[in-house]
Structure 1
Amino acid sequence: MPAKTQLLDIIAIQADIARLGLDLSGTMSLVVERTLPLIGADGAAIELADGEEMVYRAVAGLAEKQLGLRLRLGESLSGLCVRTGEILYCRDAEDDPRVDREACRKMGLRSMIVVPLRHKGENVGVLKAMSRVPDQFDDADVRALRLLSDVVAAALYFAAKYNADALFYKATHDAMTGLANRAFYIERLRNALALHRRDKRPASVLMIDMDGLKHLNDSFGHRVGDAAIKEMARRLAACARESDTVARLGGDEFGMIFSPVDQPMNGALLVHRIEDEIAQPLSFEGHTYPLRASIGLAEYPADGLDVDSLLETADRRMYRVKRLHHGGVEHGGVSERAQ
């Protein structure tokens, strides 16, 4: 059996999952975060199978930069776990022929436990715990992760029991707004960059932060704040085409990917069009409330060639705009090059 403290931790995790309801994305994020202290892991991930690929849908610690990453199912320990349905333990990635050694070295990963996640009798993914240290885990850790995987599997069942497609949808979309979630946003950005490296067409990445949500919540209550988040989501979606991606990244933060875009792309016009769409006051239950957002723009390939650099640039520009807003200055989230 797992250690007594581990059992108590798993019970606490289960209680927290119950409070999340049918929010599968939130459940997976909670589980990977809590896996780290549960068994002393340096990283954790939930990977779900999608056709012949494994997709990182929730990550923590050592695996944090892998969110949205796709790997061939037949070329990883996680894929082997899904195919066999067995719990797999890699004591040292340096001498285990089942793992992708180069990928492990890139992450700094030496040992890992991989446990299957079952849904309706099928292995649909894995819960993986990782360590930078060889042979980090013991039998109690393996059993604890097995129990935790059962908790995740139950969440998969209850989130998807009414609809055959609900499992994928719940794993990739925000429960409140119906927009893509952070994992799916980053996955779509990876895919867009891979496409544009071939055809050389540009793309635009936006980070958007609502202004004044805390004031709405504190002054008028969370029902008004939730209505503002939903309305912001609706207005951002109205600015997007079928080929674009709109996501709620968490709290009051949103993201957009415009892909493809025409060359040359006028970033200022794009940002101002979105600002105009947002600017109308929110009408809710007979009252009106102001809506505004700070927007940062990064353009591929001019501002970066990879996911991290584009998101960091857009995020930095968004916070610069937010500081200007707080200082009472109206400003669009135009790229630094265009100013």
Structure 2
Amino acid sequence: MPSREKLLEVIAIQTEVARLGLDLGGLMSLVVQRTLTLVGADGAAVELAEGDDMVYRAAAGMARGSLGLRLKRGASLSGLCVREGHVLHCDDALTDPRTDRAACEKLGLRSMVVVPLRHNGETVGVLKAMSAQVAHFNDRHFALLELLSDLVAAAMYFATRYAPGELFHKATHDGLTDLPNRSLFLDRLRSSLAQAVRDRQPLAVLMLDLNGLKPINDTHGHRVGDAALLEFAGRLNASVRQSDTAARLGGDEFGVLLRPLAPEGGLEATIARLRQQLNGNFHFEGRNLPLAASLGAARFPEDGNDVAHLLELADQRMYHQKRDIQRALQHVAA
């Protein structure tokens, strides 16, 4: 039986879940973060069953860099949990034949527990807790994780009770802008990069920051800030091709995956077009508010073929541009 303190911790998590409302992506991110302290895990993930794969749709701790990762349902403990519909655990992932050993080695995972997530009577995914230690989890941890999985399942139901088919859309799209979220963006970037390596076709990733969101929130309130985010997201989505992916990665941060990329001048022309279409004031309830973006880009193959490296490089270039803009504004003000 879990301790009183741990049960109170679950109740506190339930309160946080209630505050999130119908934001399924936010709920899953919250739950994996809280799983770390609740059961002393080194990592946690929510994996959803999509076709023949189990896909990391929320991740924390040692699993954080695996958001969007796909594992074969037929060769993983998570897939087995979905098939059997009950809690499973392993004390040593490197010797247990039910696990994807290569994936566990890459994460540094030695023991884990997977708890089914049920929606409308069907197991649609798992909540997974991970440890770098052998045999870390016990019966008290299993009970606590089952309580958490019930919270997630209830939120899934209420978020999609009128249209159950929207479950995966809500799990992979931003609740405010309805753009793909970070999980889906990374999923598409990984698969597109793997295909680009095979086909030797260039692609690019862009990182964008909406400048001035905090002053808008501080001066006019978060409702006006949300209107600015919606306007910016609409402009961004209208500025990319159907084959591209525009996503809200969190807060004032957005990303774009350009695929395929024209080899001669394609990236520069796209950046110029985005700047023209994204920057400019917008009107909201009698207010004339500025919208502008800082932007950085990285491309394959020139900048490498690693997802994390491309994202980091694009992010660095975006912040360099942001600092240049701030310095220019300070110079004008002086």
| TM-score of the superposed pair, with normalisation by structure 2 | 0.97
- The structural deviation recorded for 1:94 is 2.6
Aligned partner of 1:46 in structure 2 is: 46
Residues of 1 paired with 2:22 and 2:304: CA distance? 37
Q: Which runs of 5+ in 1 are unaligned?
A: 331-339
Q: Is 2:205–2:257's contact at 8 Å kept on the other side of the alignment?
A: yes
Aligned partner of 1:224 in structure 2 is: 224
Residues of 2 paired with 1:51 and 1:268: CA distance? 37
- The structural deviation recorded for 1:309 is 0.9
Aligned partner of 1:335 in structure 2 is: none
Aligned partner of 1:101 in structure 2 is: 101
Residues of 2 paired with 1:80 and 1:265: CA distance? 48
Residues of 1 paired with 2:46 and 2:298: CA distance? 29
Residues of 2 paired with 1:11 and 1:265: CA distance? 55
Residues of 2 paired with 1:217 and 1:193: CA distance? 36
Residues of 2 paired with 1:156 and 1:249: CA distance? 21
Q: Is 2:261–2:267's contact at 8 Å kept on the other side of the alignment?
A: no
State the AA in 2 paired with 1:307: V
State the AA in 2 paired with 1:102: A
Residues of 1 paired with 2:81 and 2:282: CA distance? 49
- The structural deviation recorded for 1:93 is 1.4
Cα separation, partners in 2 of 1:279 and 1:223, compared to 1, 3 Å: same
- The structural deviation recorded for 1:159 is 1.1
**Farther off after superposition, 159-168 or 29-38:** 159-168
Q: In the TM superposition, what are the counterparts of 1:156-171 in structure 2 within 5 Å?
A: 156-171=156-171
Aligned partner of 1:74 in structure 2 is: 74
Residues of 2 paired with 1:267 and 1:33: CA distance? 36
Q: Is 2:173–2:180's contact at 8 Å kept on the other side of the alignment?
A: yes
Residues of 1 paired with 2:171 and 2:302: CA distance? 32
1:60 aligns with 2:72: no
Residues of 1 paired with 2:183 and 2:94: CA distance? 29
Aligned partner of 2:233 in structure 1 is: 233
SS at match of 1:99: coil
Q: In the TM superposition, what are the counterparts of 1:285-324 in structure 2 within 5 Å?
A: 285-324=285-324
Q: Deviations over 1:175-210 (max 9, x none)?
A: 100100000000010111122122211111000001
SS at match of 1:165: helix
- The structural deviation recorded for 1:164 is 3.1
Q: Which runs of 5+ in 2 are unaligned?
A: none
1:246 aligns with 2:272: no
Alignment RMSD, CA only?
Answer: 1.2
SS at match of 2:54: strand
SS at match of 2:97: coil
Residues of 2 paired with 1:233 and 1:296: CA distance? 17
Q: Deviations over 1:126-175 (max 9, x none)?
A: 00000000111111111000111000111111111111321011000001
1:326 aligns with 2:326: yes
Residues of 2 paired with 1:320 and 1:65: CA distance? 24
Q: In the TM superposition, what are the counterparts of 1:58-207 in structure 2 within 5 Å?
A: 58-207=58-207
Residues of 1 paired with 2:147 and 2:299: CA distance? 45
Percent of residue pairs bearing the same amino acid type: 56
State the AA in 2 paired with 1:277: Q
State the AA in 2 paired with 1:237: N
State the AA in 1 paired with 2:139: D
Aligned partner of 2:273 in structure 1 is: 273
- The structural deviation recorded for 1:274 is 0.6
Aligned partner of 2:15 in structure 1 is: 15
- The structural deviation recorded for 1:329 is 6.4
Q: In the TM superposition, what are the counterparts of 1:250-269 in structure 2 within 5 Å?
A: 250-269=250-269
Residues of 2 paired with 1:225 and 1:328: CA distance? 24
Q: Deviations over 1:198-235 (max 9, x none)?
A: 22111110000011111111112212211110000001
- The structural deviation recorded for 1:263 is 1.4
Residues of 2 paired with 1:266 and 1:243: CA distance? 14
SS at match of 2:260: coil
Q: Deviations over 1:255-276 (max 9, x none)?
A: 0011111112343322121111
State the AA in 1 paired with 2:128: K
Residues of 1 paired with 2:265 and 2:109: CA distance? 41
Residues of 1 paired with 2:262 and 2:272: CA distance? 17
